[in-house]
């Protein structure tokens, strides 16, 4: 356990991802520490989602290694891998809710697979999760096609959290939410991180989220991490893209 | 690190104290639930109830909820159960689950005989709706066709050619292969049974009439309904799901003109071509089997074929093709545009598209058979 505390929860080393002849990630290194909220930024199309999908194993890599919870995902056995998967939750950009299941069934889906608990407890936990993500219990019997964009995000977060994971990947969680909703979402992530000891890997474009929710920020550019550190480090950086990003018109409005 | 969770009862005079220890997390949920259920049954009317959680090593939503559930069920009458020894880390989590209202989840209504009868009734009543939907689509397609005739520039040639490639050109290999095999089988069966009467040569008559009049076009139409009708439904359905069709409409385009008409035209042109190629492949296959298996020389086969069939047989077959194509296309497009938001709905409508498409093709074939019989063709 002591070793686990010191070791990063995600350890990405020299990862290269290539689609055809386009190299998206080029020898990328990244550590995510236990218990932190890492904001992951970069220009559109830089490969932020690709890295997220590579870590969770949806995109094959050409070279490099990825360790999550100290388990190398390439050399791990199926049961080790399942164990890791049980301990992480993923919020996809479009929610990726199962469209033929109700909200309740969506949230209970991982519980049914991994836990042997009574229907009553699953229903109660579902209600607890819905309350946590700020939704009313009535939503539980609706289908994803009957939800608004913001509600889909919230339900998807509730599903990502349904097994109380140690690590969550959030792919642009606040995009498509109104500013108040996005602010609530940031608070929610913060609260969950504090209460559940969650580690959060958050791909985002939302400056507010970076300022209010994230402990550390990593910036992706040219297939590598060009900077990583606190928000103050980012503001002090002389990198042209970072200067533009953190000193642009929108950034000034957030800081004011 | 993770130790088994425990819930111990410590009675202190009139007070009831429950001491929770160990790991209260999802992995232990079944054990926890049983413990909490046992503790809920504790009898007596103590003056104060405490749930001490200071020894809990790890807590997550499952554990926090079960403690909260225990607190609620022990709070009976005037005495309110208290949670004590909560560390700062976990207090916000417990506060969070405290906000959860216990709502009974409505079970889906049980299956009853009345319910089943109702479903049958609705399905029967739905037949009228289906036919109305098809007629509606036929009208919309014809209206779009007339608009295109008046303004030829709005005709989408690129799209039509693209769909021609998909449903016609790319379908040729499989259609030719299957009809070739069917031709072989008909000839083999014919020879095998006719040989007993010494009437081998009549297999040529049977093959020619059957392939040109009925089997050729019917079989090709069924294959096209399965291959292209399903593709149309899936394409339009997923476009509907992702609001692409709504996007078209808001830009001032008519989805029928942009999406349905090119597909319909491609299919109506493709099916006669495929039916012709299919008939030729079947005759070739039949001829091959007649020669190799039945010993009918190719010259004899061709001579006999010329005597046995007239151009009427060919016309009867090929005239049906565009009509069947229109039926398949309309069914597929109606089903595609009826898809709702879920993946399940897409699957249901794609299945319905193929099933209804094949059904209507066979019904049309029957109507044509009666029609041609009565005009003596």
How far apart, in Å, are the Cα atoms of A132 and each of A137, A161, A206, B316?
11, 10, 22, 69
Candidate from A13-17, B45-49, B260-264, B265-269 with smallest mean pLDDT: B45-49
Q: Are strands A88-91 and A71-72 parallel, antiparallel or unpaired?
A: unpaired
Beta bridge mates, B6: B21
pLDDT single digits (tens) B164-212: 999 999 999 999 999 999 999 999 999 999 988 888 888 999 999 999 9
Instruction: Output the pLDDT for position A1.
Output: 40
Candidate from B12-16, B29-33, B295-299 with smallest mean pLDDT: B12-16
Are A206 and A182 in contact by the 8 Å Cβ rule? The answer is yes
Q: Does A125 touch chain B (CB under 8 A)?
A: yes
pLDDT single digits (tens) A174-186: 777 777 878 878 8
Instruction: Output the pLDDT for position A253.
Output: 66
| The two three-digit tokens of residue B268, written as one number | 């109506």
Residue of B26, B63, B90, B95 to mutate, interface with A, max A Cβ within 10 Å? B26
For residue A11, give the 3-state DSSP assignment. strand
Interchain proximity B25–A141, CB inside 8 Å? no
Q: Does A70 touch chain B (CB under 8 A)?
A: no
Interchain proximity A197–B89, CB inside 8 Å? yes
For residue A228, give the 3-state DSSP assignment. strand
What is the pLDDT tens value at each position of chain A, 256 positions in all? 444 446 788 888 888 888 888 888 888 888 888 888 888 888 887 888 888 888 888 888 888 888 888 888 888 888 888 888 888 888 888 888 888 888 888 888 888 878 888 888 888 888 888 888 888 888 888 888 888 888 888 888 888 888 888 888 888 887 777 778 788 788 878 877 877 778 888 888 777 778 878 888 888 888 888 888 887 787 777 788 878 877 777 766 666 5
According to DSSP, residue B260 is labeled: I
Distance from CA of A247 to the nearest CA of B (A): 35
Residue B296 C-alpha from the chain's centroid: 47
Q: Does B54 touch chain A (CB under 8 A)?
A: no
Distance from CA of B102 to the nearest CA of A (A): 7
pLDDT single digits (tens) B294-314: 888 999 999 999 998 889 899
- Rounded Cα–Cα distance for residues A146 and A222 (Å): 40
- Rounded Cα–Cα distance for residues A68 and A70 (Å): 5
Say which residue the tokens 């059957």 belong to.
B210
pLDDT single digits (tens) B40-68: 776 666 677 777 777 777 788 888 888 88
Of A99, A125, A141, the CB nearest to B61: A125
Q: Which of residues 105-134 of B touch A (CB under 8 A)?
A: 105-106
Which of B28, B104, B103 is closest to B66 using CA atoms? B28
> Which residues of chain A make contact with B345, given a CB cutoff of 8 A?
99-100
* Predicted TM-score (pTM) of this structure: 0.73
Interchain proximity A144–B60, CB inside 8 Å? no
| The two three-digit tokens of residue B370, written as one number | 């009666």
Of A104, A125, A140, the CB nearest to B62: A125
Start-end of H helices in chain B: 29-40, 61-74, 88-98, 113-150, 157-167, 172-194, 202-209, 216-224, 230-241, 244-250, 255, 261-292, 298-308, 311-337, 343-374
- Banded pLDDT at B105 (limits 50, 70, 90): low
pLDDT exceeding 90 applies to what percent of chain B? 52
Tally the residues of chain B: 377
Of B93, B100, B345, the CB nearest to A195: B93
> Which residues of chain A make contact with B97, given a CB cutoff of 8 A?
128, 131
Q: Does A74 touch chain B (CB under 8 A)?
A: no
Distance from CA of A95 to the nearest CA of B (A): 14
């Amino acid at each position: 356990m002591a070793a686990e505390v010191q070791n990063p929860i995600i350890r990405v080393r020299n990862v290269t991802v290539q689609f055809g002849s386009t190299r998206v990630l080029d020898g990328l290194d990244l550590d995510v520490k236990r218990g932190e909220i890492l904001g992951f930024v970069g220009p559109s199309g830089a490969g932020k989602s690709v890295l997220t999908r590579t870590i969770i194993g949806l995109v094959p890599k050409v070279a490099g290694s990825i360790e999550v919870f100290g388990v190398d995902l390439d050399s791990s056995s199926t049961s080790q891998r399942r164990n890791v998967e049980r301990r992480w939750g993923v919020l996809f950009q479009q929610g990726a809710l199962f469209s033929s299941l109700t909200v309740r069934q969506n949230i209970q889906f991982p519980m049914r697979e991994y836990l042997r608990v009574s229907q009553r407890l699953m229903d109660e936990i579902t209600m607890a999760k819905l309350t946590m993500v700020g939704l009313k219990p009535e939503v539980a019997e609706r289908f994803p096609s009957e939800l608004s964009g913001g509600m889909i995000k919230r339900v998807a977060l509730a599903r990502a959290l349904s097994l109380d994971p140690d690590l969550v990947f959030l792919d642009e969680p606040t995009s498509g939410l109104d500013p108040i909703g996005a602010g609530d979402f940031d608070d929610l992530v913060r609260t969950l991180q504090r209460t559940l000891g969650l580690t959060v890997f958050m791909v985002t474009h939302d400056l507010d989220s970076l300022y209010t929710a994230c402990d550390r920020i990593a910036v992706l550019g040219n297939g590598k991490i060009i900077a990583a550190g606190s928000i103050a480090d980012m503001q002090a950086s002389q990198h042209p893209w970072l200067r533009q990003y953190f000193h642009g018109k929108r950034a000034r409005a957030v800081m004011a | 690190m993770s130790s088994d969770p425990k819930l111990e009862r410590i009675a202190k005079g009139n007070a009831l104290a429950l001491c929770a220890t160990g790991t209260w997390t999802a992995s232990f949920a079944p054990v926890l639930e049983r413990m909490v259920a046992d503790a809920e049954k504790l009898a007596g009317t103590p003056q104060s109830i405490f749930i001490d959680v200071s020894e809990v090593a790890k807590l997550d939503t499952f554990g926090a909820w079960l403690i909260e559930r225990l607190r609620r069920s022990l709070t009976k009458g005037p005495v309110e159960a208290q949670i004590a020894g909560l560390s700062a880390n976990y207090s916000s989590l417990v506060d969070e689950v405290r906000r959860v209202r216990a709502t009974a989840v409505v079970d889906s209504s049980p299956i009853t005989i009345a319910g089943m009868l109702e479903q049958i009734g609705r399905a029967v009543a739905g037949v009228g709706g289906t036919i109305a939907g098809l007629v509606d689509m036929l009208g919309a397609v014809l209206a779009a066709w007339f608009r295109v005739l008046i303004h030829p520039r709005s005709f989408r040639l690129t799209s039509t050619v693209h769909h021609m490639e998909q449903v016609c050109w790319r379908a040729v290999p499989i259609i030719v292969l299957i009809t070739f095999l069917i031709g072989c089988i008909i000839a083999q069966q014919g020879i095998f049974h006719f040989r007993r009467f010494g009437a081998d040569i009549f297999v040529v008559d049977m093959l020619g009439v059957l392939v040109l009049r009925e089997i050729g076009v019917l079989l090709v139409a069924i294959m096209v309904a399965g291959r292209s009708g399903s593709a149309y439904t899936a394409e339009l359905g997923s476009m509907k799901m992702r609001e692409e069709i709504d996007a078209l409409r808001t830009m001032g385009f008519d989805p029928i003109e942009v999406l349905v008409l090119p597909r319909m035209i491609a299919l109506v042109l493709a099916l006669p071509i495929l039916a012709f190629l299919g008939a030729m492949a079947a005759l070739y296959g039949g001829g091959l089997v007649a020669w190799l298996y039945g010993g009918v020389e190719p010259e004899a086969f061709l001579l006999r074929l010329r005597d046995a069939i007239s151009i009427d047989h060919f016309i009867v077959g090929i005239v049906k093709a565009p009509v069947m194509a229109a039926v398949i296309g309309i069914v597929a497009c109606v089903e595609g545009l009826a898809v709702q938001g879920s993946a399940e709905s897409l699957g249901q409508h794609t299945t319905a598209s193929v099933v209804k498409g094949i059904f209507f093709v066979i019904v049309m074939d029957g109507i044509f058979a009666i029609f041609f019989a009565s005009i003596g063709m």
